[in-house]
Amino acid sequence: MRQRELQLTAVLSKSSVGRFGGRLRFGTVVQRFIVGSATIVLGLVLLSLAVPRTIAHMLLLPGNAAFANALNGQLLSTQGYKRAFDSANTALGWVEVPELRKSVGGLLYYQAQSGDVLNLDVPATLEQARKELEQGLAEEPADSLPWAWLSDIRRFQGDPGDAAKALRLSILSAPHDANLAPLRADIALSLWALLDPDTRSLAQVDVRRALGTKSGGSFVRRARDADLLGPLRRTVADDPVANASLWLLLRHDQSAG
């Protein structure tokens, strides 16, 4: 009897292990199915995010060259601007791309600078540029050049407070960008009396840096034409290198004139 009980226990144990092992194998299959399904879903989500942007970039292709030339400061023909804006609007109609939205604002900003040649309503063009820039920057704020464009626009529109805020954000986004130094220095000098001490201290670096760039001569000429040589001289008074650069640029400008 004892032997038969032991045999029955052994059989039950094997059966239990078999069932438990079966559950383990079934659990592994389910786990793999869940992981595989999650991977497929994640892939589909990523694909759904990537496809609209890819299509948007394809739609932008017809105006790419015009965009690049305009953002490099080149004056386009009326058809060139139309081609750039049409392709951008088509792409943005497909999916919102903050970087493209800011580029449209920049394109309008540069277009307004040639408003007399293109027979544009400059205030209306700059207002549209402001809206595009603010919309793009609301989504992607860490971008120094659009903040500089926006600062210059707000200065033109007679809002020095907003211009100073945008200037500060531009500097904080890229404090060592030498290419932006002349534009930001121009804006800073025109707002100098209205800048708070901290922003003025940040802007001083751009003013001094601008004197050492290839645009230094035109920067000094604009400062002179705007009657801003006084603030410029005071800004570089304690910097021997910048002071010497200013003196040389002024002397060269006078001899050229």
Average pLDDT over residues 132-149: 96
Q: What is the pTM of this model?
A: 0.75
Lowest mean pLDDT among 39-53, 100-114, 153-167: 39-53
**Residue 71 exposed, middle or buried by CB count within 10 Å (0-12, 13-18, 19+):** middle
Mean pLDDT of 24-29: 49
Q: How far is CA 4 from CA 8, 9, 12, 16, 110, in A?
A: 6, 9, 12, 18, 98
With bands split at pLDDT 50, 70 and 90, how would you rate the model's confidence at 137? very high
pLDDT of residue 156: 95
Mean pLDDT is highest, among 87-91, 171-175, 248-252, for 171-175
- Domains, the chain: 24-174 (1.25.40.10), 197-257 (no CATH)
pLDDT digits (tens, 9 = 90+) for 75-106: 888 888 888 888 888 877 877 888 889 999 99
Give the CA distances from residue 30 to residues 21, 27, 44, in Å, rounded to whole numbers and listed in that order: 14, 5, 21
Residue at token pair 């010497």: 244
Q: Are 181 and 206 in contact (CB under 8 A)?
A: yes
Tokens 């400062």: give the residue.
Answer: 223
- pLDDT tier, 28 (very low <50, low <70, confident <90, very high otherwise): low
**Angle, alpha carbons 84-56-138 (nearest 5°):** 85
pLDDT surpassing 50 at residue 12 = no
